[in-house]
Amino acid sequence: MSTSTNRDTDDRDRALRALLVDTVEHTPRRRRRWRAATIAGAVVCVLGGAAAGGAITAAASPDPAALEAQSQAATVVGGSGATYLRVVGSPVGRVGSSDETISVGRAPARADTFTWVATCRTGSGEITERGSGVDDGKASCAAGSHVTGSYAASEIAGHRIRLSVDGDLGWTLSYGWLRTPPMPAASAAQDQATEDGVVTRSEYLAAFDRLQGCMTARGESLGRIPRSSLFVAPTAHDASVLDWCSASEWSAVDTLWQNEHPAPSSDDDSWGWQPYDPASDPRYAG
């Protein structure tokens, strides 16, 4: 009995082990898909990071010439005219080699002049200016030279300036607004010289003497300027001092004197430099 029982038990054990082995071998195993997804996600992140890194590098490394143009714009615009002019707002600096359009908006408070300066960086050619509200102009430009345009705010605000480029020019363009500080009113002596609408030779030269005195008082000299020609043409190193003193002592007298002595139609741009002849100018020679 015991032998039979043991045999039966052994047979059952073998059958059970066979069943277990068959069950294990034919049961599908669960795949761990998250690992593949994680790897794919890592690849996407790496590729995305590389793309983003490239974009960041590109954004962080703009054209050095463009950066310099913008950083120098205020200096270029401010230095385009008289030393007393003041920059208003934030001038713009650009680089390029083709046509360009400047959209001039409304003038900022206290700005009275709009200025653009094109510096020709490479090559040579011509720059032609066209715009609504302004006259056309054309100028040759070679590497290292400049072309400049300035306009009163009243005539250019709200318009566009179109700059056409031919040849192989590469340019830096700077533009912006300027403010002219208030000038003094005419002095009592200048008002007295012009109040009757006539300026005589003696009044003309007296105004020039006052101009020289004003310049000297402000630390600027006119130097040796001939007084014998029909028109006296003062010049000075510091234009701001000359303009200030001219407004006070000279400008109105000089304008009236020149209007009294207009150039003839045959003038070759030499009118005014000839010696003054009182005998031929009896009305104003006094």
- For the chain, the structural domain boundaries read 2-60, 65-179, 188-280
Q: What is the pLDDT of residues 214-258, one digit of tens each?
A: 999 999 988 888 899 999 999 888 888 999 999 999 999 999 999
Q: What is the DSSP letter of 272?
A: T
Q: How would residue 100 be classed by pLDDT, with cut points 50, 70 and 90?
A: very high
Does residue 126 carry a pLDDT above 50?
yes
Q: What are phi and psi of 186, to 5 degrees?
A: -60, 140
Distance CA 203, CA 254 (A): 10
pLDDT at 13: 53
CATH architecture of the domain formed by 65-179: Sandwich (2.60)
Find how far residue 194's CA is from the centre of its chain: 41
pLDDT at 125: 86
Burial per residue of 143-182, b for 16 or more beta-carbon CB atoms within 10 angstroms, e otherwise: eeeebebebebeebbebebebebeeebbbbbbbbbbbeee
Strand partners, 176: 115
Q: What are phi and psi of 183, to 5 degrees?
A: -95, 155
Does residue 35 carry a pLDDT above 50?
no
Q: What are phi and psi of 216, to 5 degrees?
A: -60, -40
Please state the pTM of the whole predicted model. 0.56
Phi-psi region of 269 (alpha: psi -120 to 50; beta: other; left: phi over 0): left
Give the burial class of 3: count Cβ atoms within 10 A of its Cβ; 0-12 exposed, 13-18 middle, 19 or more buried.
exposed
Does residue 27 carry a pLDDT above 70?
no
More confident residue, 263 or 124: 263
Q: How would residue 134 be classed by pLDDT, with cut points 50, 70 and 90?
A: low
Angle ∠(177,92,102) on CA atoms, nearest 5: 80
Radius of gyration of the chain (CA): 42
Cβ within 8 Å of residue 181, ≥6 positions away? 84, 86
CB atoms within 10 A of CB 232: 20
pLDDT at 83: 78
